[in-house]
Structure 1
Amino acid sequence: MRQFLARRPRLARLAAELGKFGSVGAVAYVVQLGVTNLLWAVGTTALTGQAVGTLCAIAVAFIGNRFWTFGDRARTGYGRETLLFLVMNGVGMGLQVACLGFTLYVLGLDGPLARNVSGNVVGVGLGTLFRFWSYRTWVFPPADRDESRAA
């Protein structure tokens, strides 16, 4: 596998970013699950609990992704990166909440299992795909044109 990746540096870079992104995401996911389920346990509404849990995970993910996952990419300004990160995470959170809302209000399923599957599995999965693509494309762009063609 190492020889395969050594002959394909763009693929090796993508695999490394994907691994780091997944690691950061796993930590953020644990934070999100913990906060969301804690809020649900104390009586917070389903959508509010999901949104607050996701906001906590976004803070963890920003630090990990900015300084580790995409740490070798061009720095385009803390303010710009933060704003775009929050916008892209707003879209990702919208996907999560939409999945949960669909389960609650269209399918009529409400319970811990239905909430976790729709919001924390399906919603997080769709949001994660969008986030990885948008971070690589807009939030933390490649340092030069050669890398941008590899993306």
Structure 2
Amino acid sequence: MPVLASVTLRVRDTLRGIWREAAKFGVVGALAFVVDNGGYNLLVFGLPGGAAGGAMRDAPVQASVIATAAAALFSWAGNRYWTYRHQHREKVSHELALFLVANGVGLAITAGTVFASRNLLGLDSALSDNTARILGWALATLFRFYAYRRYVFVAP
């Protein structure tokens, strides 16, 4: 019985740690989501009620890349200094390089869903763009959580 109790406590502590990590990751991710989607919508569709559209209305994929890149930088700072503050690498440049690779894959996933929506399905409304971006964001988030835990923010 002591072995079973020990294993149970270890599993419970591990799940609590992952839950806390996932919650912090989620808060940073939610704020990055606002930066990403808010930036994208401003670039492509402009301010609400504006008839002219955004500065990048004719370049939605490029706007997606810019908005996602801004959100990625925000996410790196939030995750490095809050979520994984006790697990980050001493060499910031190495950590940032790994972070950028992981986010490059995430960026490709998000931009890929916009590309598919626009060019393969022929959809070009705000609703279809945002639906494609939310799908891409969800898939990219799952990938990023795994990559951050496994490769980017590792305990020294």
Please say whether Structure 1 and Structure 2 have the same fold, judged by a TM-score greater than 0.5: yes
Q: Which of residues 131, 141, 155 is equivalent to 1:128?
A: 141
| Letter matched to residue 60 of structure 1 | F
1:73 to 79, 87, 98: 87
For 1:128 and 1:7, the matched residues in 2 are separated by: 25
Do the aligned partners of residues 5 and 96 (structure 1) sit closer, same or farther apart at CA in structure 2, a change above 3 Å counting?
Answer: farther
- Equivalent residue for 1:28, pick from 21, 29, 32: 32
CA shift at 1:113, angstroms?
Answer: 0.4
1:1-151 map, 5 Å = 8-41=12-45, 42-44=54-56, 45-119=59-133, 121-143=134-156
State how far apart, in whole Å, the 1-side matches of 2:61 and 2:11 are.
47
Aligned-pair RMSD on alpha carbons? 1.6
Q: Provide the rounded CA distance (Å) in 2 between the counterparts of 1:43 and 1:7.
A: 51
Contact 1:76 1:140 in 2 (8 A): no
Deviation larger for 125-134 or 68-77: 68-77
* CA distance 1:77–1:113, change in 2 (3 Å): same
CA deviations on 1:17-44 (whole Å, 9 max, x unpaired) are 0000000001111111111101002141
CA contact (8 A) 2:95 2:153 kept: yes
CA distance in 2, matches of 1:23, 1:85: 18
* Kept after mapping to 2: 8 A contact 1:5/1:12: no
Q: SS in structure 2 opposite 1:64?
A: helix
Gapped regions of structure 2 (runs ≥ 5)? 1-7, 46-53
Count residues with an aligned counterpart.
Answer: 139
Q: What SS class does the counterpart of residue 8 from structure 1 fall into?
A: helix
After the TM superposition, list the runs of 4 or more consecutive aligned residues in structure 1 that deviate by more than 3 angstroms: 4-7
Distance 1:11 1:32, change over 3 A: same
